[in-house]
A = this chain, B = another copy of it.
Amino acid sequence: MTRLGERIRSMDEGIGRVNQIIPEMPATETRLCRLLLIVGDRLQRDLEAIVTPYRINHSEFTTLMILYSRPDGSSTPGELCELATQGATNMTRIANALLKRGLITRQSGATDRRQVIIRITAAGRRFAQKVLPPMFPRIAEAFSGFNVGERSELRRLLGKLAANLDDLDSGVTP
């Protein structure tokens, strides 16, 4: 796999050349976008590589972790879609996969019978506690050399970007 450093440098140069053809391009912002996407993509692949030996993929793992992190260990497909950024269609597939492995249960909702209640099982909790720890070293080392100020600054800047994207989507000028 290519090193990110080279890819980022190549991307920076490419944007520079395009900017000479199209001067109205916001070059700095475009570089930041691409940088964020490149780093995020790599981070996701790295983390996914840690969980695949357990025969589970990233979206299934994320969904299970959301359930695991809930006080009552349960949710509905619709809610999980929003929390895991997945479409309803795919959440049905994810739930089928987790159900097949006995990591969750499915039951129809009591108050609203259209809803389905998904609940993590004891086996699901054990699985979560088994798969999480192998991820810790890599997550920690990804931010090695980041002091407290840098961590909180990165958090703040990404939060600010998220707020901007929220404003854009919910239409400041609808």
Contact = CB atoms under 8 A, between A and B. Distances in A.
Interface of A: 1-5, 7-8, 10-11, 13-15, 17-18, 21-22, 24-26, 28-33, 35-44, 46-47, 65-66, 68-71, 82-83, 85, 129, 132-133, 136, 138-146, 150-151, 153-155, 157-166, 168-170
Contact of A69 (B14, B145, B169): B14
Contacts of A32: 143, 151, 154-155, 158
A169 B46 contact: yes
A18 B69 contact: yes
A40 B42 contact: no
A138 B161 CA distance: 12
A22 B132 CA distance: 9
A172 to B, nearest CB: 9
A32 to B, nearest CB: 6
A78 to B, nearest CB: 11
A142 to B, nearest CB: 5
Q: Which of A15, A21, A26 has the most CB of B within 10 A?
A: A26
A157 B159 contact: no
Given A28-B143, A29-B140, A40-B40, 4 more contacts: A17-B71, A21-B129, A40-B41, A46-B165
Given A5-B163, A7-B83, A14 B66 contact: yes
